[in-house]
Amino acid sequence: DQQVKQNSPSLSVQEGRISILNCDYTNSMFDYFLWYKKYPAEGPTFLISISSIKDKNEDGRFTVFLNKSAKHLSLHIVPSQPGDSAVYFCAASAHLRNTGNQFYFGTGTSLTVIP
């Protein structure tokens, strides 16, 4: 049962334009959401997170938006750069359950930024 879904396996964007990566979840108990970036032969690297008490969090070129009613979050990268080309994973946890913050990951979206 996939509780976190990334329905777009891949995305191609021109350098300088906006990249929008989407993620949907089904478990209403999730209260903390993260985006990880993964390069080949490396482990996932933390990118940005958002708590369910917020609907937006921004860090430089990266902004995450959370729509709790739709159980949807998105990652915006602007402007996109070739170095952003990687696989992006959305992850969610139910922190308030105090189970050690098990993360549930989506299947990933492979972003290619074309120079």
Partner 1 sequence: DTGVSQNPRHKITKRGQNVTFRCDPISEHNRLYWYRQTLGQGPEFLTYFQNEAQLEKSRLLSDRFSAERPKGSFSTLEIQRTEQGDSAMYLCASSSRQGAWVAKNIQYFGAGTRLSVL
| Radius of gyration of the chain measured on its C-alpha atoms | 14
Q: Which residues pair with 20 in a beta bridge?
A: 76
Q: Identify the DSSP state of 3.
A: S
Binding mask 15-44 for partner 1 (x = CB under 8 A): -----------------x-x-x----xxxx
Instruction: Report the residue from 89, 94, 111, 113 that binds partner 1 according to the rule CB under 8 A.
Output: 89
Interface residue list for partner 1 (CB under 8 A) = 4, 6, 9, 32, 34, 36, 41-46, 49, 51, 89, 91, 93, 95, 99-108
